[in-house]
Amino acid sequence: MAETRRRLRSSTVVLGGMGVVAATLTACGSDPDRRCVDRDNYDSVYGYKVVADKNCKSGSSSSGKKGKTGKTGKRTDAAWYYDADVSNGRADDGTFSRSEAVDRGGFGCSGSGSGGG
C-alpha cells in the first residue's frame, strides 16, 4: 500500500509540472494588447489618437484603407498599434508590428519582456 501512495504522489508531481508547461506555452501564444489608432493623428508628446476598433481590420497589422470616423466624415488611416501605453485617448511607445510585440516576450517567452519599441 505504501507503493501506491508513492505512485500517486509521483503522478501528482508530473501532472502539476504539465500544468506549469501548459501555462507557459499559453502565455507565449497569447495575443499582445492592441489598440486601433489613427496614424495620421499623432502628437509627439501624447502619441496616436485611439479610434474605434471597427476602423481596423480584425486580425491584421494594419487596415490598408482609410475609413470614416465620427460625424465629421474625416478619413482616418487606422491601424492596430500593439503594446502601447494608453492615456487620455492616446497610445504611445508601442509598435505597429504584431510579431515584434509578441517577440517582446512575457512569462516563459524568449523575448526580454521589456517595453519600448
Residue 49 is assigned to a structural domain of this protein: yes
Residues 6+ apart with CB under 8 A from 67: 54, 55, 75, 76, 78
Is position 82 within any domain? yes
The pLDDT tens digits for 19-46 are 555 554 455 556 789 999 999 999 999 9
In a domain, 14, yes or no: no
Distance of CA 14 to the CA centre of its chain: 31
Domain that holds residue 81: 34-103
63: which strand partners?
none
Whether 58 is in a domain gets the answer yes
5 within a domain of the structure (yes/no):
no
Question: Per residue in 86-95, pLDDT tens?
Answer: 999 999 999 9
* 92: Cβ contacts below 8 Å, ≥ 6 apart: 46, 47, 48, 84, 85
